[in-house]
Every structure is written in C-alpha cells, then in structure tokens.
Amino acid sequence: MYGLSAKMAIILAFSDSICKYVSNHATFSSDILFSLNAHPGASVYDLTSDISRHPFVEPDLVFVHAGTNCLPMHRPLSRTLDDFSYLISVTKSRFPSASVVISSILPRFDSEVYDRRRSELNSHLLHLCSRQGVFFLDNGSRARRAMFSVDGLHLSRAGNISYAKYLSFSLSHYLQLHRRSCQHRFTLRGEEWPGLGTDGGSGKKDKEHPGEEPKSGEYQGQVEWARVVRQGGPVARAAPGKVEGGSVGKGPSQPRGVPVVRSAPGKVVGGSVGKGPSQPRGVPVVRSAPGKVVGGSVGKGPSQPRGVPVVRSAPGKVEGGSVGKGPSHPRGVPVVRSAPGKVVGGSVGKGPSQPRGVPVVRSAPGKVVGGSVGKGPSQPRGVPVVRSAPGKVVGGSVGKGPSQPRGVPVVRSAPGKVVGGSVGKGPSQPRGVPVVRSARGKVEGGSVGKGPSQRRGVAVARAAPGKVKGGNAGKGPLLA
C-alpha cells in the first residue's frame, strides 16, 4: 500500500496519557510493528528519562507526544522548549539510525488559558524541530469538542478511534520517507481527522472550539507536506557524526593535504605538531616532560661533553667522577657523612682520629678492650670502684666511706646485728651492764631505766595506780 519492503518495520512511540488507547485502534499494515509506551501524567523531562532507559536497539521511527502536562502558568514556555530540545538530542543519541517525529499538543477544552499557551508552544515547537532536523506532526485545528471526554482534556472513544486512524496514516507516510533515505525535514500541516463528520458538524465551524479557526476543505486522505531541499551540504546535527564529502563541522573546510590543528595533540601526516613552529628532523625537540632525545642531551640545560659528569638534584653514581654534593676528594681520603658509618682506613667521623690502642669515650657506657670504664680516670685493677649503688667489691670494703679492718663492725643507719661488736648507737658497753633504751623492757641483771635502782623490798611509785608486791600503793609517802 505504501511501497514498503518485506522487512518488518518498527515504530516506537512515547506518550503521556493522551495516546494511551491509540494502539487499540491503530490501522498499520501487517509489516509494521507499532510499540506504544504510555506514561500518564508525564512531563517532557519524564519522557526523556523513559527514552534513555528503553531497551529497544534499532527502531525505524520514533514518535513522541508530550507537553500537555507542561502548560500550567507557573512554568515558563522557554523552559518547556529547552526540555523539548534536550528530548530530541537524547532520542537521536539513543536511536541514531531512526527518524524522529514530534507531535503537536492536542487542544485543551478544559481551559482557554491553557489552550492559548498550547497554540503558542506549538508554533515555537515547529521552529525547534526545523532547526533540529526532525519531523513535526501538526495535528491541525479540526479537532472538535465531541472528540474529547467530559474533562475536556482526554480523548473520548470516538476521538481515540479517529486519532488512531489519522496517526496510523501519518506515521506510515513518515516511515515511507525514512525508507527513501530521509536526510530531509518534513512537516504535516492542517490535517483534519477522519470521521469527524460522523459525530456532528460535517466539517462546519465548531463554535465550542477555543483554538484557531478551521480551514475549508474536507479530509480526502491526502497529505500536504513541505520539503526542505538540501542546500548542497550535509545536515548539521547536535550529536557529532560522520559526514560524507565534507570535514568536521567545527570550522571552515581545509584541503586534504593541509594538516588540521586540533586542541588535543596528535600526529599529523606531512607536518609537525601544531604547538609551535616546525623543527628540522635532525634537531631534538624540547618537551616539558624530560625524555630521551636522539643526537642530543636532555633539554634542561646546555649540553655537556660525554666525559663530564652531570650534576643532578638527587644523589647518584656518576662514572668518572665523585658525588655532586661537594668538591671531589682523592680515593684514599674518607668521606665525611652526616650519618655515622664505617670508613675504610680511618676512624669514625665525629672527632679526631685516635690510635687503635686508646679506648674511645662514648656517651653510653660500655666495655673497652685495654682500658677501664669511661666515666672517670682509669683505676688500677686492685682498687675497688666507688659506685652510687652499694654492692660487694672483691678485695675491698663497701664504698660509702674509708675502708675499715675486717674485725671492726660497720655502723649502718638501720640497726642490726654485728658479729664481734655491739649495737652501733653509742659506745660499746661491757656485757654485764644493761643498755638504756627508749622503749621500756626487761633488762637482765638490772632494774627498769626510769630512775635509780631500788631494793626488792621497797615499793616503786608509778603514775598509774597499781598493785606492788611487798609495798603500798604509790599515791603518796608511805604511812604507818
């Protein structure tokens, strides 16, 4: 009927709730697969998200009906147009081999304000589709109030049947243009839906319609479309792609033999890299990053002869010279380093060299072969060493005072028993003489040390009253 090939064609449709019943009444031919994705209450941005996540790979035609829910007064029309522009870019990027059809917004019989904004948005949408290189389906101004339900927003049953037939014919025509290699832009204008006369009016003016004035003429199944003729060049698209017979569209075309300067560095046949004047082949190129240059030296300073060592910031080995942190020294002279280490043929580099037989004084005490401990002058082997902590010294006495003979007891701060002597709190007493102590106690061979000794038969006067055997109580002189 439309000159289609035997290959099955795929039409993918995205819509809000306006077209959700169109697929039930569509009249496509048997070689066309129509898939409708309806999202009730969706805005233009919501349908953009649905398109970006759709699993279809390569449809032939993508139809989008949106914008009905973007007409409220709090939303500016310029923002809705930006959303449509983004939707077109995402659709062309998601389905690069398909043609895109954007539908105009159907009339709004529920609000005259919304219908005026709808008419204004449709006129801007027509110019946007022309600039973006996609099809624009103008649903015309012949829709009548009888085609819509009670709410004045959604289509009635008769309206769904009429719009489904009209949409089937229009999309089949766009599919035919797509198969005939459509790198053009088309617009369907001012069409009347089929079957309008059956629901009253017979093509006459409907006074209930708040939109544009209807045009004369009945629907005869023919399509008026305006063709934009190609002006001798490829069509510019928002998404970058391959254009036959021309160069990339970011600047004027260059001849084939002239290298193209790109922002990213790359290889250009027949020329040098476009960041500076071309250099002869034998001259090394100075780069910001250090590297090897054939026939020259590294480009951070003047070239040096091969036999001269190069001074580097990091220390390293240089053949034929010494390390580059100071003047060169003869091989036999030890090098002083900040960290102590072993130097062949010399001593440690923290002071003047000492003979091998002389012990070295270190801050930490240790054993030195052939000498004594380095905290004082060396002592003969037979002399005991005085230490702060008391201890046993072989061949001498404890080092807190002069040495005493072995038979003399040592006085200590803590009382103790001394063999061959008496307690060290006073001069030694004979064994038979009692010792006076601060604490009262019993002393054999003597009396208590609070006064002169009394005879056994005489009573002793005490501060506390008590019983004294062989005498009277000690509260006063003894009475008869």
Instruction: Name residue 322's amino acid.
Output: S
Q: Report pTM.
A: 0.41
Burial of residue 303 (number of CB atoms within 10 Å: 0-12, 13-18, 19+): exposed
Give the CA distances from residue 416 to residues 397, 410, 412, 423, 425, in Å, rounded to whole numbers and listed in that order.
Answer: 18, 10, 8, 7, 11
Measure the CA–CA gap between 83 and 77, rounded to whole angstroms. Answer: 10
- Tokens 């389905």 sit at which residue? 95
DSSP secondary structure of 271-334: S--TTS----TTSPPP-SS----TTS--TTS----TTSPPP-SS----TTS--TTS----TTSP
3-state secondary structure of 109: coil
> Which among 126, 127, 134 has a CA at the least distance from the CA of 105?
126
* pLDDT for position 331: 78
Measure the CA–CA gap between 360 and 368, rounded to whole angstroms. Answer: 8
φ, ψ (nearest 5 deg) of residue 183 = -105, 40
pLDDT truncated to tens, each residue of the chain (480 aa)?
444 445 789 999 999 999 989 889 998 999 999 999 999 999 999 999 999 999 877 899 999 999 999 998 788 999 999 999 999 999 999 999 999 999 999 999 899 999 999 999 999 999 999 999 999 999 876 678 888 999 988 999 999 999 999 999 999 999 999 988 544 445 454 445 554 433 333 333 443 444 343 343 333 333 332 232 233 333 333 444 443 444 444 455 555 555 555 544 444 444 444 455 666 676 665 665 454 544 444 445 566 667 777 666 555 454 454 444 566 667 777 766 655 545 445 444 456 667 777 776 665 554 544 544 445 666 777 777 667 555 454 454 444 566 677 877 766 655 545 445 444 456 667 777 776 665 554 544 444 445 566 667 666 556 455 444 444 444 444 443
* Alpha-carbon dihedral 48, 52, 53, 59, rounded to 10 degrees: 110
Angle between helices 77-94 and 112-132 (to 10 degrees): 40
Give the CA distances from residue 344 to residues 94, 251, 317, 368, in Å, rounded to whole numbers and listed in that order.
Answer: 76, 72, 19, 21
DSSP secondary structure of 405-431: -TTSPPP-SS----TTS--TTSS---T
Q: Are the CB atoms for 134 and 185 separated by under 8 Å?
A: yes
3-state secondary structure of 8: coil
CATH 3.40.50.1110 fits domain 9-227: yes
3-state secondary structure of 96: coil
Question: Structure tokens of 365?
Answer: 């005490």
Spans of all domains in the chain = 9-227
Other CB atoms within a 10 A radius of the CB of residue 328 amount to 10
Pairing of strands 225-227, 186-188: antiparallel
